[in-house]
Amino acid sequence: MTKSNFPENFLWGGAVAANQCEGAYDVDGKGLSPVDILPDAHHGRWEALMNPKDALTKTYDFYPSHESIDFYHRFKEDIALMAEMGFKTFRTSICWARIFPNGDDAEPNEAGLKFYDDLFDECLKYGIEPLVTIQHFDTPVALMTKYNGWEDRRLIDLYLNYAEILFKRYRDKVKYWLTFNEINMILHIPFFGGGMDLNGKDNPEQIKYQAAHHQLVASAKATKLAHEINPDFKVGCMLAAGETYPKTCRPEDVWAALQANREGYFFIDVQARGEYPSYSRRFFKEHGIELDIADGDLDILKKHTVDFISFSYYSTRLVSTSEDDKQTEGNVFATLKNPYLKASEWGWQIDPLGFRTTMNALYDRYQKPLFVVENGLGAVDTVEADGSIQDDYRIDYLREHIQAMGEAVQDGVELWGYTTWGCIDLISASTGEMSKRYGFIYVDRDNDGNGTLNRSRKKSFDWYKKVIATNGADL
| Active-site position among 374, 384, 407, 433 | 374
Minimum CB separation of residue 13 from ligand BGP in Å reads: 15
Residue 231 neighbours by CB distance under 10 Å = 7
Q: Are strands 244-246 and 349-350 parallel, antiparallel or unpaired?
A: unpaired
Q: Is 290 a catalytic residue?
A: no
Distance CA 141, CA 207 (A): 18
Residues 241/182, Cβ–Cβ less than 8 Å: no
Minimum CB separation of residue 136 from ligand BGP in Å reads: 6
129-152 b/e (C-beta count within 10 Å ≥ 16 → b): bbbbbbbbbbbbbbbbbebbbbbb
Which of residues 20 and 271 has its CB atom nearest to ligand BGP in the complex? 20
**How open is the CA angle 179-374-245, to the nearest 5 degrees?**
105
Minimum CB separation of residue 428 from ligand BGP in Å reads: 3
Residues 304/217, Cβ–Cβ less than 8 Å: no
Minimum CB separation of residue 473 from ligand BGP in Å reads: 28
245-263 b/e (C-beta count within 10 Å ≥ 16 → b): bbbeeeeebbebbeebbee
The residues binding ligand BGP (CB under 6 A) are 17, 20, 181-182, 240, 312, 331, 374, 378, 421, 428-430, 436
Q: Which of helix, strand or coil describes residue 276?
A: coil
At 278, which helix (H) or strand (E)? none
Which of residues 49 and 429 has its CB atom nearest to ligand BGP in the complex? 429
Which of residues 293 and 380 has its CB atom nearest to ligand BGP in the complex? 380
Q: Which of helix, strand or coil describes residue 17?
A: coil
Minimum CB separation of residue 346 from ligand BGP in Å reads: 7
Active-site residues: which are they?
374
